[in-house]
Amino acid sequence: KVQWFNAVQQGDLSAIKRLAPHYLGSRNIQGLTALHIAAQANNIEVAKIVAKRESRMLTSSHYSALMIAAECGFVELVDLLAPLESKLLIKNTSALSLAAFNNHFQCVKILCQHEPQEIINAFCQARSKKHFETTNYLQQQMRSCEQTDDSLMEEESDELFMLLDQEDTIPIQIDIDKYTQKIDELTAQMDVLNKNLTDSNQMLQQAVSLLKEEQSEVSSLQKQLQTKEKRVLLIQDSNIKIEQHLQKAQKENLQLKEQISGLDEKCITLQQKLLKANQHQRLQIDDYSKQFISYQKQTELLKTEIQQQQQTLENKNAQINEMEQLTDQYIQEAYANKEEAKMYKKQISELEEQIIDYQCQNDKLQQMGGQMAENLQKLMEEQQQSKQVQRQYESQMGESMFADKPVEEVLEMLENRMPSNNLRTVIQKLRS
């Protein structure tokens, strides 16, 4: 049995045909037959196999398979089951009234042919839910039924309004006059509705014309939108290009920042090197100043020696003058005494040799004094140049004239500004 209902749910036709002789007419736990399950699933092939055997069987809620199909709006199933299960009125409910209530128009058309006794009830159900197309069709069916033979109407009127209690079905005769008055009222209302429909049709025509105009406007707006979309695409392309340029600019900016940071590091290293060079040069200047002081002391000593030698020269000149005077006296006396003159001549020649020796010594002392004076002048000039270089370094370091310049240019500027050989050697060491 489980296999049977599984095959029905899955639509396995071979299994259904194989198990049908054994399980046709059986129910599952919910009280449903195979036809009920096929109606719920809108499975026509399964319904064709089991319809003849399981038709007119009700569910636990007193629904037939046709009612299930009509309520769901399954047109093919309604067409298949209507000849088998029509004219079933259960708890004042029929397949036609369910189809009208749920506004399944095609199902209503099929069921009106098989359940004409339920047209009035179906009309009331459709009108209560304001399904205008269905109510109009059912009204036309009611008018066509009024034009048929009275005998048919009498036979059908007995079957029209059958109400079923929960346990048994008890037919109740309804006062036809009341329903005819209701029908007249309904027809009057339908005439009003038809007029309203004509008015609404005119309104619809106007609305259609307006819609056409709006459609033309919409087409123009669509064209404008297309042009604007093209413009937007162009703007987006330009934005993409601008973003690419911005990205390139950002990359270049980052590279420049890196270069600037590298230059800053170079400047810092240069400043450190310059500070070291300045300190070294100050030490050299201190050494030069010490040497200059020592030279000054030496020059003073030389000056004192020169003065002493000049005094000795003056003394010797005085002696020479005295000797010349003596020579003059000796010459005068030589005329008096030739022999003494010879002796005096020897003494004079010896004195002349001594004088020549003294003159040579004087010349050497004068040369040494000139060299010492030249050395003093050079030392004074070097001291002034070193002071000027120190002032230039201090001004250059204060004004940061070497900022944002390469190392080679700074060293060349320093080399051009430093005339002394010692400072040039320092620059060469820095360069190396």
Distance CA(77)–CA(38), nearest Å, equals 9
pLDDT value at 180 more than 90: no
Q: What is the mean pLDDT of residues 71-100?
A: 88
The whole-number pLDDT of residue 218 equals 75
pLDDT value at 182 more than 70: no
Q: Which residues pair with 90 in a beta bridge?
A: 93
Q: What is the mean pLDDT of residues 280-286?
A: 81
pLDDT value at 423 more than 50: yes
Among 67-76, 119-128, 152-161, 272-281, top mean pLDDT goes to 67-76
The whole-number pLDDT of residue 51 equals 93
For residues 419 and 265, the model is more confident at 265
193-220 pLDDT, tens digit per residue, is 767 677 767 777 776 777 777 777 777 8
The whole-number pLDDT of residue 197 equals 72
Q: Three-state DSSP class for 190? A: helix
DSSP per residue over 69-112, as a string?
HHHHT-HHHHHHHHHHHTT--BTTB-HHHHHHHTT-HHHHHHHH
The whole-number pLDDT of residue 69 equals 95
Q: What is the mean pLDDT of residues 131-146?
A: 86
Distance CA(59)–CA(33), nearest Å, equals 8
The whole-number pLDDT of residue 393 equals 55
Give the least confident one: 194-208, 347-361, 396-410: 396-410
373-397 pLDDT, tens digit per residue, is 676 677 677 667 666 765 665 555 5
Q: Which residues pair with 162 in a beta bridge?
A: 171
The whole-number pLDDT of residue 409 equals 62
Give the least confident one: 21-30, 100-109, 255-264, 401-410: 401-410
For residues 247 and 155, the model is more confident at 247
The whole-number pLDDT of residue 92 equals 72
pLDDT value at 262 more than 50: yes
Mean model confidence pLDDT for the chain? 76
CA distances from 100 to 42, 140, 191 (A): 19, 14, 21
Distance CA(306)–CA(230), nearest Å, equals 106
Which structure tokens are listed for 128? 């209560």
The whole-number pLDDT of residue 78 equals 95
Name the helix (H) or strand (E) containing 169: strand 169-171
The whole-number pLDDT of residue 166 equals 34
pLDDT value at 161 more than 80: no
The whole-number pLDDT of residue 100 equals 94
For residues 205 and 64, the model is more confident at 64
Q: Nearest 5°: phi and psi at 409?
A: -65, -40
Q: What is the mean pLDDT of residues 34-61?
A: 93
The whole-number pLDDT of residue 154 equals 43
The whole-number pLDDT of residue 110 equals 94
CATH 3.10.450.50 fits 2-195, yes or no: no
The whole-number pLDDT of residue 155 equals 43
What percent of the chain lies above the pLDDT cut of 70? 71
Supply angle C-alpha 48, 54, 59, rounded to 5. 120
406: left (phi over 0), alpha (psi -120 to 50) or beta: beta
Supply angle C-alpha 253, 258, 263, rounded to 5. 120
The whole-number pLDDT of residue 162 equals 38
Name the band, by pLDDT with cuts 50, 70 and 90, for residue 368. Answer: confident
Name the helix (H) or strand (E) containing 24: none
Which structure tokens are listed for 321? 């003058």
pLDDT value at 149 more than 50: no
Distance CA(425)–CA(290), nearest Å, equals 21
Q: What is the mean pLDDT of residues 110-136?
A: 90
pLDDT value at 47 more than 90: yes
pLDDT value at 345 more than 60: yes
Distance CA(49)–CA(20), nearest Å, equals 8
